[in-house]
Chains A and B, each alone.
Chain A
Amino acid sequence: MSTGTPHHTIDVTYLARLARLEVTQEEIEIFGPQLGRILDHVEQMNKLDISGIEPTAHAITVFDVIREDAVTESLPKKTILENAPHNANGLFVVPKVLD
């Protein structure tokens, strides 16, 4: 079905950096043409006249869902921290951010 060189090219290295995702050279070589072919398929949307059409963000639209601004119970701090790969003194630990 989708063989041959895709019409679209995509800079996998740049996008992976934006997405904070390290990719290998092998992945770059695989994803590039695959994503290019997907974008070729997506191209067919351009055939449609969409002038004056409103975008749909949610199919069943509800507006301005508000709740009472009241303090309610939260999950225990201990439970949350237990799921962290590294925690100490009631905090999440990350590598040094500032020198």
Chain B
Amino acid sequence: MEYAVQVENLVKRYGSFNAVDDISFDVQQGEIFGILGPNGAGKTTTLEITEGLLKPTGGSVTVLGMDLARNAKQVKSRIGVQLQSAAYFDYLSLREILGLLGTFYPRATPAKDLLQQVDLVDQAGMRLRQLSGGQKQRFTVAASLVNQPDLVILDEPTTGLDPQARRSLWSLIRQIHEQNITIVLTTHYMEEAQTLCQRLAIMDQGRLVAVDTPANLVGRLDVGYNVKVVLSRPLSAEQAAAFNGKVKLAEAHSESLNGTTYLFRLENTSTMLAGVLEQLEQTGSALEHLDITPVTLEDVFLTLTGNELREEH
């Protein structure tokens, strides 16, 4: 079995609204696969279909070699799921919740081992509401591992966490990955997708925009780096327009950000930057600040969808 998940021509329609609009992708065994997109892109809908929670309007999903439509129960016993913002029973301790969940599966890891893995042994007797946000997320990841799954599906595992808790969760996800468990996760954090995921699907408005490794996605753009300059006075419209003719600027061209701050996206060639700087000097406006950064997924996303990727609603 080569693929952990195969999605073919998947469609989910609510009335006339296409939540998922004819998407196809494969997740390979043993990889960390990310689905990146803004809120409402169809990420969660895609996951919930894969988990057997929602029935697709069209298309098919194969999980761990089993057709989901026919083998939902077998699929469910071999996947681990962390739902977006799912809570667990109040009035049960962490240990009891994991123990109870374990009884639902043919095989189960003891609660103690799971809590050890997510570093919550000391909190075993506590209730979920007594935990911090990061601890809660680690617990829900532990809950997704209770049945020793071959595939773990995490829906926005780090949303709402502070940077430190986020990093701790990343290392937990990598640990799980080292146990040869395939991981599919959704995120709207670029940094997370870039550092954590081996391959990425970018979704926007129910459609699949691209599927590739983060490096390949970035390499697809004919852009090597971003150049941000702050000038002593604004460029005239004429001067700004002149850059379009002379310098090959990517997609967004030069755009005024803050009066005297300009952003250029440049091809990765040795002469490109020199040309821009020379031209700026000729405008008679002094260069007050220069910032050169490599192109990131954010730029890829902007290029592919034309939309800003916002972190919150």
Are the chains A and B members of one assembly? no
> Which B residues form the contact surface with A (CB < 8 A)?
none
> Which A residues form the contact surface with B (CB < 8 A)?
none
